[in-house]
Copies of this chain bind each other. A is one copy, B any other.
Amino acid sequence: MTVASRGPAPATYPVPHGAEQGGVVSRVTLQTIADRVGVSRMTVSNAFSRPDQLSAEMRRTILAAAADLGYVGPDPSARALARGTTGAVGVLLTESLGTAFLDPIAAAFFGAVAEELAPTGMAVVLLPSTSSEGMIPARDIPMDGALVYGCAGDYPAVDWLVRRRLPLVFVDGEPVAEASSVLLDERHGARLGAQHLLDLGHRRIGILTMNSTEPPGWAPDPAAAGSGFVARERQIGWVETLEAGGVTPVVMEVHDNAEPFVSQGARAILDGPERPSAVLCFSDLMAAAVVHAAEELGLRVPEDLSVVGFDDSPLARRLRPALTTVHQDFAAKGKAAAAALTSSIARFRAGEAPAPEEHRILVDLVVRDSTAPPRPA
């Protein structure tokens, strides 16, 4: 096995002799090394953390002793306490982490965030929104700041983060005061989709979306929670534009992103008495479900039915027919979020007052093959 040669500690690792005493391995700390070399603990600390504070030779001696003792580096937890920073930032999602990863939008966003954060050396901690046996990650995990992705502000975990006074950035969700936010121009995107259909001549238009308000008695579904803000914004854009064009859409809301619910919604919207000639969808996933349902009913897309998605997920291009959809730039979103967060953290460390930034990510309509003029009645 090849051993890494980068990093301070030489590469003779699984053999920490010298640390054992009477069979018990007492833990090696800075003090152990200091005693061995005959310097103060502080000098050893500097050897690892501030190389400019000691002579190169002394540093070499110390690192050699450390390697010999099997010392890897300053204990991260102790360092975090002493320094007041952990080197990790949290990402909170409303959806269960399991489903979040299956969502290519979210995945692409994470990717961009991680990518942007990597050069700063910060790691990303995924915060389960669930808590258990007294452990509440949003409250108990050490971190320097957090990204709140698509969560409503009244979510318990968000609340903990806010109370901790951590630097926060809200993404795709309603921000709380004093925090930065990164939002899509949802309304504009929705308007573009709606206008596109109007321009093509459609007059009977359906909308398939997430529930924007919780029906009374509806327990907030973890998988759907948080989409409320986005759903509302999009709906405003759609309805605004359609009504300006003299069209009153048929709105169908589903409460859960999962396959069966979405399919059912898709079927429902096509099965109504006055079948729409076009459907605006909350997501590409829903659009795909609509296309599928149309197929089952013997309708051809786009000849018999036009379908507009949202997000321009990878799925949109792969679908047949390729989906007309509202494109959002995931990479830009992730980058903006990561940048806003690092700057918030920097401010916070410098003791400066928070300076909430508000980033708005541009969207545009990508016209592909799933939309066409309606078939003349």
Nearest CB to that of A319 among chain B residues? Answer: B318
> Are B142 and A86 interface neighbours, CB within 8 A?
yes
Residues of B within 8 A of A249 (CB): none
The one of B2, B176, B314 that contacts A154, using a Cβ cutoff of 8 Å? B2
Known contacts A76-B142, A159-B3: does B135 contact A127 (CB below 8 Å)? no
Residues of B within 8 A of A76 (CB): 139-143
A1 within 8 Å of B (CB atoms): yes
> Are A98 and B78 interface neighbours, CB within 8 A?
no
| Chain B nearest CB, measured from A167 CB (Å) | 15
Interface positions of A from 119 to 159, Cβ below 8 Å from B: 119-128, 130-137, 139-143, 153-156, 159
A141 to B140, CA, bound (A): 15
> Are B117 and A128 interface neighbours, CB within 8 A?
yes
Residues of B within 8 A of A139 (CB): 7, 72-73, 76
Residues of B within 8 A of A367 (CB): none
Write out, one digit per residue, whether chain A residues 88-124 have a CB within 8 A of any chain B CB (1) or not (0): 1010000011111110100110111011011111111
> Are A114 and B135 interface neighbours, CB within 8 A?
no
A64 to B77, CA, bound (A): 29
> Are A13 and B162 interface neighbours, CB within 8 A?
yes
Nearest CB to that of A133 among chain B residues? Answer: B121
| Chain B nearest CB, measured from A81 CB (Å) | 4
> Are B121 and A159 interface neighbours, CB within 8 A?
no
Nearest CB to that of A74 among chain B residues? Answer: B140
Known contacts A1-B154, A114-B126, A125-B124: does B87 contact A135 (CB below 8 Å)? yes
Residues of B within 8 A of A17 (CB): none
A142 to B122, CA, bound (A): 12
A263 to B108, CA, bound (A): 22
Interface positions of A from 204 to 255, Cβ below 8 Å from B: none
A90 to B197, CA, bound (A): 47
Residues of B within 8 A of A13 (CB): 159, 162-163
A136 to B77, CA, bound (A): 14
Nearest CB to that of A156 among chain B residues? Answer: B4
The one of B78, B97, B159, B315 that contacts A81, using a Cβ cutoff of 8 Å? B78
Residues of B within 8 A of A96 (CB): 114-115, 118
The chain A residues found within 8 Å of chain B, CB to CB, are 1-4, 6-7, 9, 11, 13-14, 70, 72-73, 75-81, 84, 86-88, 90, 96-102, 104, 107-108, 110-112, 114-115, 117-128, 130-137, 139-143, 153-156, 159-160, 162-164, 176, 314-315, 318, 320
Name 28 interchain pairs, CB-CB below 8 A, sorted by A.
Answer: A4-B159, A6-B131, A7-B139, A11-B159, A13-B162, A72-B139, A72-B164, A73-B140, A77-B81, A78-B81, A81-B81, A87-B137, A87-B140, A88-B142, A97-B110, A98-B111, A102-B108, A114-B126, A117-B128, A118-B132, A121-B128, A121-B132, A121-B133, A121-B135, A123-B137, A315-B318, A318-B318, A320-B320
